[in-house]
Amino acid sequence: MGVVGLQSQTAKPAGIQGLVELVSGDMEKVNELILSKAGSNVELIPEIARHLIDSGGKRLRPMLTLAFAQMFGYEGEGHVILAASVEFMHTATLLHDDVVDESDMRRGKLAARKLWGNQASVLVGDYLLGQAFKMMVDVRSLEALRILSEASAIIAEGEVLQLGAAQDTTTTYDMYLRVIEAKTAALFAAACEVSPEIADKGDEMRAAARKFGLELGYAFQLVDDALDYGGATVDLGKDVGDDFHEGKITLPVIYAMERGSDEDKAFWKRCLEDGDIKDGDLDHAIKLLKDTGALADTVQRARDYGASAIDALSVFPDGPAKQALKEAVDFCIARVS
Amino acid sequence: MGVVGLQSQTAKPAGIQGLVELVSGDMEKVNELILSKAGSNVELIPEIARHLIDSGGKRLRPMLTLAFAQMFGYEGEGHVILAASVEFMHTATLLHDDVVDESDMRRGKLAARKLWGNQASVLVGDYLLGQAFKMMVDVRSLEALRILSEASAIIAEGEVLQLGAAQDTTTTYDMYLRVIEAKTAALFAAACEVSPEIADKGDEMRAAARKFGLELGYAFQLVDDALDYGGATVDLGKDVGDDFHEGKITLPVIYAMERGSDEDKAFWKRCLEDGDIKDGDLDHAIKLLKDTGALADTVQRARDYGASAIDALSVFPDGPAKQALKEAVDFCIARVS
């Protein structure tokens, strides 16, 4: 399933297998570390943490950290610890997001907050964030700590910004980009940047790795936003129309509003701003998004960011890591094609 | 106002003025740093942060960091940054606590979650925590980072433990101590321990400072728990009976249940476990707490911890800092006397 009419634009299906295989040895260590650090004498903590950790996320972010470490020939255990920290930061964000968005589902399973309540979700998120910082300290790199703590503050800032922008149909393209840079791209960027940092590769390599992560993060989020109106429920484990029901103003909606008639604008305003959603409104929204080319153009923007991400790789040596990272970009975009 | 019948046991009223004056120069820098780091382009963040920061908390934790730094003759700016980080960690915890406890009031003002909603409270708490870690990195002490990140994980763990223990009238004395060590004493201990660390004072001084903070933290929390049944609403800015209505099993309740008749036990179970609270139940609870000596004994335990805190100071050089820290202990306990 995918956005209708886009299949033909995809050169060929791309997979994430190359990346998975490249880092499989290190990833096993990351998984062990994650399970051991999600442990606690307080029963509820491992229970909730495992629910999320076992629920089949792709672990794309820690794989990026590991792939970059491998590309730079880093020898040590720092990349494994930082990869696990990055995944904990991400997991903490998911727990808090589900509370904030009042989501019922996460990756096709009941959200933790539906099983254990909002209170436990907030607190276990806090615990995982604390554990993430504890682990980072073990790597003994102040710069890696700086990169990841900065990402942590930026992610939260982006979520607050999104909260303010929700239900506000005057949200501009620029404001939308600020939100997704903060809530998604910043952690992708940090996950990539820490590896050249601990491998002592200098500013140019750090900047290029960061740029790769940032552009990939934009692409990833744009694809997510298109998928939210484009089917593929089973693959993504996410209900179609979540953003619509939460009043989130994403790029597809911004495009559709710009291009729509006064009647269309009133429709979006009623649904997203007033939250007055009737039967059939989601179908109508998807029709408008398709008819105005809003979904297709969102996917095109994702492709542009994906191309920039691949460009950023040019300074790195050719080899299996670089190849796997390229394929990961294609994979992220192919999800929607 | 205070717990009836205890005034006579207090030697003399103690104040926190000594501590306030001792650190006033540094505290001004801490306040400036707090205001600048609570800033953000995202409007809601400084708004909520300032609501909490300006709402008249005593800033006891950062004062402890500053007092210990002064005692050790530390020269630099690290103590100011760490003190601000400690206050941010505390503020983040308050924001999340109010969401978890569904509190309406905080320090006599409407809780942030009542003004801006649970969602914003969760996210702004996350932001302040991220900022706290960013600031800590600026001090460039991995050990200080370790101490504070450890505290961060422990605090969250304690809150989860408390969530599980809430409404459970089989909570034991030991479990209660574990909760208050984690949710209160751990941050007091960390706030004290970071100063000998950055002043390079060695393990003995670090351990003693940590012990002082830990014992003071226990005393502080026990007094809070007694005050929650003991009046003094105006001073504390907290509604009397909050813990009772939230079903929190605190030491006064544990003592009262141990000592009560079967009828009393059934009363506590109905109110705290079943949440079935009728008019007059709080008054009856306070009567039971007084008649069984549960409140008086809780305050006595607070005095014991306070005495241990003062003992821990014995390894430090006499002087204004040590004197101010002693008085701070007396002040914490005098709140209830």
- The ipTM assigned to this model is 0.90
Say which residue, A113 or A175, is predicted with more confidence: A175
How many alpha carbons lie under 13 Å from residue A209 in its C-beta half-sphere? 32
Cα separation, A293 vs B216, whole angstroms:
64
pLDDT for the residue numbered B56: 67
pLDDT recorded at residue B106: 76
Name the nearest CA neighbour of A36 among A46, A47, A28.
A46
Please give the CATH architecture assigned to the domain spanning A14-334: Orthogonal Bundle (1.10)
Q: Which of A96, A98, A124, A134 should we substitute to test contact with B (largest number of B Cβ atoms within 10 Å)?
A: A134
The gap from C-alpha A298 to its chain's centroid, in whole angstroms, comes to 16
Give the per-residue pLDDT at B163. 84
Closest CA to B241 of B179, B286, B273: B286
Q: How many residues does chain A have?
A: 337
Q: Does B85 touch chain A (CB under 8 A)?
A: no
Please name the helix (run of DSSP H) or strand (run of DSSP E) that holds residue B43, with its range, or none.
none
pLDDT at A239 over 70: no
Residue whose entry in the numeric block shows the structure tokens 């808090």: A96
Is residue A328's pLDDT more than 60?
yes
- A177 or A50: which leads in pLDDT: A177
SS3 for B106? strand
**A199 CB-near residues (< 8 Å, 6+ apart):** A69, A72, A73, A74
What is the pLDDT averaged over residues A169-195? 95
The partner residue sitting opposite A130, judged by closest CB among B137, B156, B163, is B156
Nearest CA in chain A to B125: A156
Q: What is the pLDDT along chain B (337 residues), one digit of tens a residue?
A: 333 333 434 444 458 899 999 999 999 999 999 999 998 888 888 888 888 777 767 899 999 999 999 999 999 999 999 999 999 999 999 999 988 888 887 777 788 888 888 888 999 999 999 999 999 999 999 999 999 999 999 999 998 888 888 778 888 999 999 999 999 999 999 999 999 999 999 999 999 999 999 999 999 999 999 999 984 333 444 568 889 998 899 999 999 999 999 999 999 999 999 999 999 999 999 999 999 999 999 999 999 999 999 999 999 999 999 999 999 999 999 887 6
Residue of B nearest to A141 (CA): B142
Chain A: closest CA distance from residue B203 (Å): 19
Residue contact A44–B160, C-beta within 8 A: yes
Percent of chain A with pLDDT over 70: 93
Contact at CB, A120 and B150, closer than 8 angstroms: no
Q: Which of the residues B149, B159, B194, B197 would you substitute to probe the A interface, choosing the one with the greatest number of A C-beta atoms within 10 Å?
A: B149
Q: What is the DSSP string of B298-335?
A: HHHHHHHHHHHHHHHGGGSPPSHHHHHHHHHHHHHHHT
3-state SS of chain A is: CCCCCCHHHCCCCCCCHHHHHHCHHHHHHHHHHHHHHCCCCCCHHHHHHHHHHCCCCCCHHHHHHHHHHHHCCCCCCHHHHHHHHHHHHHHHHHHHHHHHHCCCEECCEECHHHHHHHHHHHHHHHHHHHHHHHHHHHHCCHHHHHHHHHHHHHHHHHHHHHHHHCCCCCCCHHHHHHHHHHHHHHHHHHHHHHHHHHCCCHHHHHHHHHHHHHHHHHHHHHHHHHHCCCCCHHHHCCCCCHHHHHCCCCHHHHHHHHHCCHHHHHHHHHHHHCCCCCCCHHHHHHHHHHHCCHHHHHHHHHHHHHHHHHHHHHHCCCCHHHHHHHHHHHHHHHCCC
Q: pLDDT at residue A10 above 70?
A: no
Q: Do A146 and B152 touch (CB under 8 A)?
A: no
Question: A308 CA to chain B: closest CA distance, Å?
Answer: 27
Reported as a pLDDT band with limits 50, 70 and 90, residue A56 is: low
B90's CB contacts (< 8 A; 6+ apart) are B61, B187
Q: Which of A 112-131 lie inside 8 A of B, CB atoms?
A: 118-120, 122-124, 126-127, 129-131
Among chain A residues, CA nearest to B162: A42
Model pLDDT, residue B271: 96
Q: Does B36 contact chain A (CB < 8 Å)? A: no
CB–CB of A137/A78 below 8 Å? no
Domain residue extents for chain B:
7-334
Task: Tell me which residue in B40, B122, B146 faces A157 most closely, judged by beta carbons.
Answer: B40
CA distance B210 to B144: 12
| Cross-strand partners of A109 | A106
Per-residue confidence band for A110, with pLDDT thresholds at 50, 70 and 90:
confident
If residue B110 lies in a helix (H) or strand (E), which one and from where to where?
strand B109-110
Q: What is the pLDDT of residues A286-301, one digit of tens each?
A: 999 999 999 999 999 9
Rounded mean pLDDT, A240-268: 94
Q: Looking at residues A178-192, what average pLDDT do you find? A: 96
% of chain A with per-residue pLDDT over 90: 71
Q: Spelled out in words, what is the top-level CATH class assigned to the domain B7-334?
A: mainly alpha
Q: What is the pLDDT of residue A14?
A: 56
User: Does residue A129 have a pLDDT over 60?
Assistant: yes
Specify the pLDDT at position A2.
Answer: 37
Nearest CA in chain A to B164: A44
A-chain residues near B40 (CB < 8 A): 157, 160
- pLDDT of A3 reads 39
Structure confidence at residue A7 as a pLDDT band (50, 70, 90):
very low
Residues of A in contact with B99 (CB under 8 A): 118-119, 122
* Bridge partner list, A110: A105
Residues of A in contact with B45 (CB under 8 A): 157, 160
Task: Quote the tokens at residue B337.
Answer: 């006397």
> Is the predicted pLDDT of residue A266 greater than 50, yes or no?
yes
Instruction: Determine, for residues B130 and A153 on separate chains, whether the beta-carbon distance falls below 8 Å.
Output: yes
Residue A13 predicted with pLDDT over 60: no
Q: Is the pLDDT of residue A89 over 70?
A: yes
